[in-house]
Amino acid sequence: MRLNVFLQQAGVGSRREAERLVEQGRIKVNGALAVATTPVEEGDQVTFDGAAISPAKRDLPRVFLLNKPLDVLVTTRDHKGRAMVFDLPAFQKPGLPRLMTVGRLDVNSEGLLVLSDDGGLAQAMMSPANALERHYRVRIRGRFDARQLAELARGVTIDGLRYRGAQFEEEEDKGGRSNSWYRVVLTEGKNREIRRLVQHFGGVVNRLIRTKYGPFDLGDLESGEMREVPPRAVTRLIETLASKSGAETP
């Protein structure tokens, strides 16, 4: 764990305050004066002005990865009686906590959906300020030219709404088709963002698959399958978000 994250969780102060205490020589790890890059491992003794400190004990958030199938809604209720992700067999397993989704995928999209039992962590992952990358494979009827790709990378405004720069990279051209596959990277994830960007330039999305969200990959998850993220990876995520925001993340 990064020392400044450890100190935040121990209630010493904000990240910047913790860094100042380290610079002042008031923090020791295993009896040695700490520097900003000193790591803290499980079992290490950390002292502040000679007094032992430790992070507040709390249950580590749980994070799950789901391969969302096509034509399934990401919602907890639907008055039309349509299929919803929480009705999938993966959610009927005993022992699952109450989960909330990290962002959404629309009914016509598929692929990686991240879920957590911790609302603060979910909000931090979705926050535009943390700019976690979302990766997609997108099939489009049509094709972008070089000027349009450059404009997408700079960011565009559609109907008064500003969209951050998005990276569109065409996959190998198979030739002789009306459809093109692109690999797309976003850092914001507004509602139906990719579809609106494509439509803005005269194309139509006819398949959209999310393959990555932040540090998590779809990997070999089958459609409808859900898998829990190992605790060590959850801890790394929390540390990364804390370092981005400069504030404690659950």
In the prediction, which pLDDT does 59 show? Answer: 76
Cβ atoms of 65 and 229 within 8 Å: the answer is yes
Encoding tokens for residue 167? 């990276």
Report the first-to-last Cα separation within the chain, whole angstroms: 14
Q: Residue 224 pLDDT more than 90?
A: yes
The confidence band for 3, taking pLDDT boundaries of 50, 70 and 90, is: confident
In the prediction, which pLDDT does 250 show? Answer: 52
- For residues 152 and 170, membership in a common domain is answered with yes
Q: Is 146 contained in some domain?
A: yes
- How many structural domains does the chain have? 2
Q: Is 149 contained in some domain?
A: yes
DSSP letter for each residue of 74-122: -SS--TT---BGGGSGGGGSTTPPP-EEES---TT-EEEEEEES-HHHH
- For residues 32 and 141, membership in a common domain is answered with no
- For residues 102 and 171, membership in a common domain is answered with yes
Q: Residue 9 pLDDT more than 70?
A: yes
pLDDT tens profile 164-219: 999 999 997 655 578 899 999 999 888 899 999 999 999 999 999 999 999 999 99
Q: Catalytic residue, from 49, 106, 117, 118: name it.
A: 106
Across the range 111-116, mean pLDDT stands at 97
- For residues 85 and 190, membership in a common domain is answered with yes
Looking up residue 84, the CATH number of its domain turns out to be 3.30.2350.10
- For residues 72 and 117, membership in a common domain is answered with yes
Q: Is 247 contained in some domain?
A: no
- For residues 68 and 124, membership in a common domain is answered with yes
Eight-state DSSP code of residue 217: E
- For residues 156 and 70, membership in a common domain is answered with yes
The confidence band for 239, taking pLDDT boundaries of 50, 70 and 90, is: confident
Looking up residue 39, the CATH number of its domain turns out to be 3.10.290.10
- For residues 49 and 163, membership in a common domain is answered with no
- For residues 30 and 113, membership in a common domain is answered with no
Q: Is 248 contained in some domain?
A: no
- For residues 85 and 19, membership in a common domain is answered with no
Collapsed DSSP state (helix, strand, coil) of residue 48: strand
Q: Is 206 contained in some domain?
A: yes
Q: Residue 245 pLDDT more than 70?
A: no
Across the range 105-113, mean pLDDT stands at 96
Query: Is 117 a known active-site residue?
Result: no
What CA–CA distances, in Å, run from 110 to 36, 72, 198? 42, 9, 17
The residue segments making up the domain with residue 26 are 3-57
Last residue of a domain, one of 41, 57, 73: 57
pLDDT tens profile 34-44: 998 898 988 89
In the prediction, which pLDDT does 247 show? Answer: 45
In the prediction, which pLDDT does 220 show? Answer: 94
Q: Is 233 contained in some domain?
A: no
Last residue of a domain, one of 57, 74, 96: 57
Q: Residue 248 pLDDT more than 60?
A: no
State pTM to two decimals: 0.76
Q: Is 245 contained in some domain?
A: no
What CA–CA distances, in Å, run from 185 to 51, 135, 148, 226? 46, 5, 15, 23
- For residues 18 and 117, membership in a common domain is answered with no
**Cα 68 to the center of its chain, rounded Å:** 16
Q: Is 157 contained in some domain?
A: yes
Angle made by CA atoms 115, 119, 122, in degrees to the nearest 5 = 50
Q: Residue 146 pLDDT more than 90?
A: yes
Number of H helices, E strands in the chain: 6, 15
- For residues 72 and 178, membership in a common domain is answered with yes
Collapsed DSSP state (helix, strand, coil) of residue 147: helix
* Mean model confidence pLDDT for the chain: 90
Across the range 75-83, mean pLDDT stands at 88
